[in-house]
């Protein structure tokens, strides 16, 4: 960055004014955005509302050594939008809480907001408010997202029924392997700062880690197909953990077929290079922000040819347990080894 302006030079209100100037409001439900004690919204008739919040902490959820602030901003919005997608909703507004250590410049914070601005544009979301404050440590980003969903059509985790098909969008494991690449390069660079990190070889898995997308496209496509999932969740902690959530909250079991798990070729190549089992990466990697959902067997024809949806198994009675079925046909209980925050 060419300019470095200390935060205390513009102050909290100055920073808010600078951010306010970059914000465009698009949603008909937004009456008043940034600049008052609260934003004012006009909920749309016939719509329920969904609300979710996520914290991203420097050193826990992102590492500024290898993650550009613009990507951090984009990802912070995308992972929140992903929660709305997982309810079958469409995002409408976000509010942003930001705690910033003294080492950050105005330009750095503007770069972070630029990432959020691009994400808001892509997902048609209005940034309507926030709170910006000093922190004693690193950067903390707190985003709360609001979305809307036609009355009664929000999809919970708890609606899966035996014989429903278990589906995932996109492919899995990429975000986790992207993180492995970044951590290896960081370790190498820490040992020898003269080294140039080798990142150009891994565009796919790095993009999956640094700049994930919420699957709003699939939410809209399912609506167009007339498919309402019986249950849905987004894959943040890892597929295994999310399958267990759906089964626990629906009171069911499930069978997941390892053969059906979708991985992209670059993901398989990196797994091979790191000597990691690609199945484990897909099951427990986390942070893919794909959707895991169930549909009635009768919807099979509607989704079977969808290029971005893979049927990975089916729901069973609870007594059958939650099982992973290997290529050889052996069933083993599915276990979650996803992110442990504590």
Question: Segment near a second copy (CB under 8 A), from 43-51, 194-202, 260-268, 314-322?
Answer: 43-51
Half-sphere exposure of 15 (CA within 13 A, CB side): 26
Supply φ then ψ for residue 39, to 5 degrees: -80, 155
Binding residues among 59-88 for a second copy as defined by CB under 8 A: 59-61, 83-84, 86-87
CB nearer a second copy, residue 96 or residue 119: 96
Of positions 20, 24, 26, 36, contacts a second copy by CB under 8 A: 36
Q: Which residues pair with 311 in a beta bridge?
A: 167
Helix (H, G, I), strand (E, B) or coil at 185: helix
Supply φ then ψ for residue 272, to 5 degrees: -60, -45
Supply φ then ψ for residue 265, to 5 degrees: -55, -45
83 is in an annotated binding site: yes
Which of these, 68, 129, 118, 61, lies nearest to 93 by C-alpha position? 129
Nearest distance from C-beta of residue 336 to a second copy, angstroms: 9
Residues 279/174, Cβ–Cβ less than 8 Å? no
Which of these, 288, 234, 308, 242, lies nearest to 86 by C-alpha position? 234
Beta strand spans in 135-205 (E) = 140-150, 165-169
CB nearer a second copy, residue 52 or residue 180: 52
131 is in an annotated binding site: yes
Nearest distance from C-beta of residue 153 to a second copy, angstroms: 10
Which of these, 56, 53, 81, 83, lies nearest to 67 by C-alpha position? 56
Helix (H, G, I), strand (E, B) or coil at 186: helix
61 is in an annotated binding site: yes
Question: Segment near a second copy (CB under 8 A), from 67-75, 190-198, 232-240, 324-332?
Answer: 232-240
Nearest distance from C-beta of residue 273 to a second copy, angstroms: 30
287 is in an annotated binding site: yes
Size of the site for a second copy (CB under 8 A): 74
Q: How far apart are CA 314 and CA 307, in angstroms?
A: 19
54 is in an annotated binding site: yes
Binding residues among 117-176 for a second copy as defined by CB under 8 A: 128-138, 140, 142, 144-147, 149, 151, 154, 156-158
Q: Is 57 in the site for a second copy (CB under 8 A)?
A: yes
Binding residues among 244-303 for a second copy as defined by CB under 8 A: 249
Q: Which residues are annotated as a binding site?
A: 37, 52-54, 61, 83, 113, 130-131, 157, 234, 236-237, 287, 339
């Amino acid at each position: 960055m060419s300019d470095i302006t200390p935060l205390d030079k513009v102050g909290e209100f100055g920073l808010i004014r600078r951010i306010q100037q970059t914000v465009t409001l698009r949603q008909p439900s937004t009456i008043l955005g940034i600049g008052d004690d609260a934003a004012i919204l006009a909920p749309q008739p016939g719509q329920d509302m969904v609300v979710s919040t996520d914290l991203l902490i420097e050193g826990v959820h992102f590492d500024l050594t290898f993650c550009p602030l613009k990507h951090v901003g984009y990802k912070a919005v995308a992972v929140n939008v992903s929660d709305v997608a997982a309810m079958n909703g469409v995002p409408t507004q976000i509010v942003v809480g930001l705690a910033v250590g003294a080492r950050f410049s105005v330009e750095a914070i503007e770069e972070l907001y630029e990432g959020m601005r691009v994400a808001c544009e892509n997902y048609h979301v209005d940034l309507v408010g926030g709170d910006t404050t000093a922190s004693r440590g690193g950067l903390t980003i707190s985003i709360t997202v609001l979305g809307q969903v036609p009355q009664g059509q929000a999809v919970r985790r708890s609606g899966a029924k035996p014989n429903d098909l278990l589906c995932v969008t996109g492919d899995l494991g990429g975000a986790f392997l992207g993180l492995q690449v970044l951590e290896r390069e960081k370790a190498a660079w820490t040992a020898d700062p003269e080294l140039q990190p080798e990142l150009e070889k891994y565009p796919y898995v790095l993009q999956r880690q640094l700049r994930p997308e919420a699957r709003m496209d699939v939410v809209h496509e399912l609506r167009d197909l007339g498919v309402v999932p019986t249950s849905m969740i987004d894959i943040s902690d890892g597929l295994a953990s999310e399958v267990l959530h759906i089964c626990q909250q629906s009171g069911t079991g499930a069978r997941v077929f390892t053969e059906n798990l979708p991985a992209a070729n670059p993901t398989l190549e990196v797994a091979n290079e790191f000597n990691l089992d690609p199945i484990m990466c897909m099951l427990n990697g986390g942070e893919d922000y794909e959707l895991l959902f169930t549909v009635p067997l009768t919807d099979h024809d509607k989704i079977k040819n969808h290029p971005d949806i893979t049927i990975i198994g089916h729901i069973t009675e609870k007594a059958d347990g939650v099982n992973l079925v290997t290529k050889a046909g052996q069933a083993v209980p599915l276990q979650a080894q996803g992110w442990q925050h504590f």
